[in-house]
């Protein structure tokens, strides 16, 4: 379920950023297990490991699964460049349902991007705007989020809107004429060219600090995709749900 790691990585990056500021830690390493309902017509959705990283060294950082460098940072504004090693909605043909299981594999990709994080000055609400691109298209995202802290517990709700370029969408959800005509794809009756698409979602990330070293982390999320993705013959659902639980140790 590498596609779920892509979405969960974005959720965790937001939650980790604010939690690090609240607990003062600069080095956190952990792992969790996540689960996502399926977007492609696959047989079964499975649980998957998820890294829970929060590492900073001068202006370099690792948050969630992204590696970045802060070009400029103060209390109100941060501009950074980042590398995301696992972007995309990967799927293997062997995992697809009968009648769809002779399509080409879709793989995750490495993307480079830029991100701006801004403190809006309104009730501690923050916003981020990011753009990233790779060999199979690019994505953009706008998010709003705020952290709420009560003793040892920090809760961070967020909302976001994402855009996917036509190259990106067509790679993961388009169907070529060759795929549509292959034996084994009896439930695909035509090719499909996917245009640029969008999604919108909500997430809730929480971290409970047992002490200065050890914390428990949870995350919940929901994402809804536009018709350009929904109408693909290899797509099962236009709404997916994500959840997970993990532990992190701070040095």
Q: What span, in angstroms and rounded, lies between the C-alpha atoms of 106 and 42? A: 13
pLDDT number for residue 46: 79
- Say what the pLDDT of residue 99 is: 96
- Coil vs helix vs strand at 13: helix
Q: How would you label 196-234 residue by residue, b for 16+ Cβ within 10 Å and e otherwise? A: ebbbebebbbbbebeeeeebbbbbebebebbebbbebbb
| Stated pTM of the model | 0.87
Q: Could you state, in order of their start, the residue ranges of all structural domains in the chain?
A: 2-250
Q: What are phi and psi of 225, to 5 degrees?
A: -105, 150
Average confidence (pLDDT) per 10 residues, the chain, 251 residues: 51 50 62 89 85 86 89 94 93 95 95 96 95 96 94 94 97 97 94 97 93 90 96 96 90 82
Angle at Cα 44 formed by Cα 133 and Cα 228, nearest 5°? 40
Contact yes or no for 172/188 (Cβ under 8 A): no
Q: Is 238 helix (H, G, I), strand (E, B) or coil?
A: coil
Task: Say if CB 246 and CB 215 are below 8 A apart.
Answer: no
> How high is the pLDDT of residue 54?
85
CA distance 85 to 134: 10
**∠ Cα 24 247 32 (to 5°):** 125
Residue 7 in contact with residue 202, Cβ under 8 Å? no
Residue 140, pLDDT score: 97
- Give me the residues paired with residue 145 across strands: 126, 158
pLDDT score recorded for residue 14: 52
Instruction: Write down the pLDDT at residue 65.
Output: 82
Note the pLDDT of residue 1. Answer: 46
Domain 2-250 has CATH 2.40.160: yes
Closest CA to 26 of 57, 52, 68: 57
């Amino acid at each position: 379920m590498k596609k779920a790691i892509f979405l969960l990585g974005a959720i965790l990056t937001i939650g980790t950023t604010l939690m690090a500021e609240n607990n003062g830690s600069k080095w956190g390493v952990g792992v969790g297990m996540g689960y996502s309902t399926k977007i492609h017509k696959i047989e079964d959705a499975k649980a998957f490991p998820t890294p829970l990283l929060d590492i900073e060294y001068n202006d370099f950082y690792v948050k969630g699964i992204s590696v970045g460098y802060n070009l400029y940072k103060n209390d109100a504004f941060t501009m950074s460049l980042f590398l995301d090693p696992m972007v995309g909605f990967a799927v293997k043909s062997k995992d697809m349902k009968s009648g769809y299981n002779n399509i080409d594999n879709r793989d995750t990709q490495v993307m480079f991007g830029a991100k701006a994080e801004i403190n809006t000055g309104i009730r501690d609400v923050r916003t981020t705007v990011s753009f990233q691109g790779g060999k199979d298209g690019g994505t953009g995202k706008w998010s709003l989020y705020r952290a709420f802290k009560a003793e040892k517990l920090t809760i961070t709700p967020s909302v976001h809107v994402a855009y996917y370029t036509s190259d990106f969408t067509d790679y993961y959800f388009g169907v070529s004429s060759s795929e549509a005509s292959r034996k084994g794809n009896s439930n695909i009756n035509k090719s499909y060219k996917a245009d640029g698409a969008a999604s919108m979602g909500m997430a809730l990330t929480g971290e409970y600090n047992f002490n200065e070293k050890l914390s428990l982390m949870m995350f919940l999320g929901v994402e809804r995709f536009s018709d350009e993705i929904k109408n693909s013959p290899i797509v099962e659902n236009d709404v997916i749900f994500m959840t997970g639980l993990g532990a992190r140790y701070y040095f």
